[in-house]
C-alpha cells in the first residue's frame, strides 16, 4: 500500500543559472520572472511565457499576450 501523497507546495522556482541565460526569444531582451504565477514575462513584447512543470516554454507562438 502506498502512503497518500503528503501536502506539497508546488514551487515553480527556476535555477538561478537558468534565469541568467534565458532571454526573450523575440527581442532577446531581459525577462521578468513570476514563478508563483508560473510565468515569465517580457515587458518589451508584452508577452508572458509559461513555465510548464518547471520548464520555461520560450516560444512566441505559445506565449500569452499581456493586457
Which ranges of 1-67 would DSSP assign to H, the alpha helix?
16-21
Least distance (Å) from Zn ion to the CB of residue 50?
Answer: 15
Please say which residue, 4 or 56, places its beta carbon nearer to Zn ion: 56
Residue 50, Cβ density class (10 Å: 0-12 exposed, 13-18 middle, ≥19 buried): middle
Please say which residue, 12 or 24, places its beta carbon nearer to Zn ion: 24
Least distance (Å) from Zn ion to the CB of residue 39?
Answer: 14
- Pairing of the two strands 55-56 and 64-65: unpaired
Residues of this chain that interact with Zn ion (CB under 5 A) are: 24, 26-27, 29, 42, 44-45
Please say which residue, 25 or 54, places its beta carbon nearer to Zn ion: 25
Amino acid at each position: 500500500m502506498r502512503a497518500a501523497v503528503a501536502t506539497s507546495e508546488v514551487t515553480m522556482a527556476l535555477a538561478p543559472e537558468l534565469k541568467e541565460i534565458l532571454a526573450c526569444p523575440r527581442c532577446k531582451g531581459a525577462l521578468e520572472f513570476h514563478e508563483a504565477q508560473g510565468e515569465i514575462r517580457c515587458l518589451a513584447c508584452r508577452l508572458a511565457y509559461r513555465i510548464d512543470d518547471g520548464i520555461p516554454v520560450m516560444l512566441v507562438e505559445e506565449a500569452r499576450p499581456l493586457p
